[in-house]
Amino acid sequence: MKHWLASFHRLASPPIFFRLAGRIMPWSLALAILSGGIGLVWGLVYAPADYLQGESVRILYIHVPAAWMSLAIWAFMAFAAIAALVWRTKVAETLAMAAAPIGACFTAITLLTGSLWGRPTWGTYWVWDARLTSELILLFLYLGVIGLYRTIEDPRRAARAASVLILVGLVNLPIIRYSVEWWSTLHQPASIRLSGSSIHPQMLWPLLVMALATKFYFLWAVLARARMMLAENESNKQWVRDLWREGRL
């Protein structure tokens, strides 16, 4: 336990986090490009079309991983927000704020691809059912966090205020997740559960590879944004000036 706490406190140091993130980023980007390339070619070219939806089902390989990430990133932000509010660590505050624009992008992609998929499947681009509406609310919550953070001049006060909004927004995650089970909606129920999957393996595997690619991309993107924000917010600190002098910024 003491070893874990010591490691946590070390990672909470901005210069240590900055250096560690710099080592992780090239690997995560390489893995994101590799797995993303494999998943896209596999899903868009080699995976079979659906017997009901035809070729339009290939939107699945973008839509579903983006939807998973829209929820996972908010959960990540909530974890960082708790650390920011309880321990007041600058790295946790920065990670929570760095993740918000990435999560907003994934949520926007989810809504856009869902609309494109809905047109041939439902006959319309949009319906105000529980799943789509709660996902749209999630996008507004992401934008609210971004706007709140940028409204307050002091970055640390802004991050803590936005962290409260993040924790309040957690209530929307189970609504999104279980909306298709709690209410009657046009959106289909989850095809992948802990008990198994109803998706054919030839379609499931490229979907899982794409989901893995989005995880690696998020890791690279959030670390890149966090490093940039730390360097900007800590620009008056000696460790940042040393990095500038060494040409590592």
176-222 pLDDT, tens per residue?
988 877 766 766 666 665 455 667 788 899 999 999 999 999 999 99
- Show Cβ contacts of residue 60 under 8 Å, excluding neighbours closer than 6 positions: 43, 117, 203, 207
Look up the pTM and report it.
0.92
> Cα 63 vs. chain centroid, distance in angstroms?
13
What pLDDT shows up at residue 237? 81
Q: Give the tens place of pLDDT for each residue, 217-227.
A: 999 999 999 99
Measured in whole angstroms, the distance separating CA 136 from the mean position of its chain's CA atoms is 15
Question: What is residue 6's predicted lDDT score, i.e. its pLDDT?
Answer: 53
Please check whether residue 225 is in contact with residue 233, taking contact to mean a CB–CB distance below 8 angstroms: no
Mean local confidence (pLDDT), 47-67: 86
Mark residue 33 as left, alpha or beta (left: phi above 0; alpha: psi -120 to 50; beta: remaining): alpha
Per-residue confidence (pLDDT) for residue 184, from 0 to 100: 67
Runs of H (alpha helix) within the chain: 2-11, 14-41, 60-87, 90-122, 130-151, 155-169, 172-182, 201-233, 238-246
* Chain segment 101-160, per-residue pLDDT in tens: 999 999 999 999 999 988 887 888 888 888 999 999 999 999 999 999 999 999 999 999
DSSP state of 49: P
CA pair distance 109, 95, nearest whole angstrom: 22
> And the tokens for 91?
């790295």
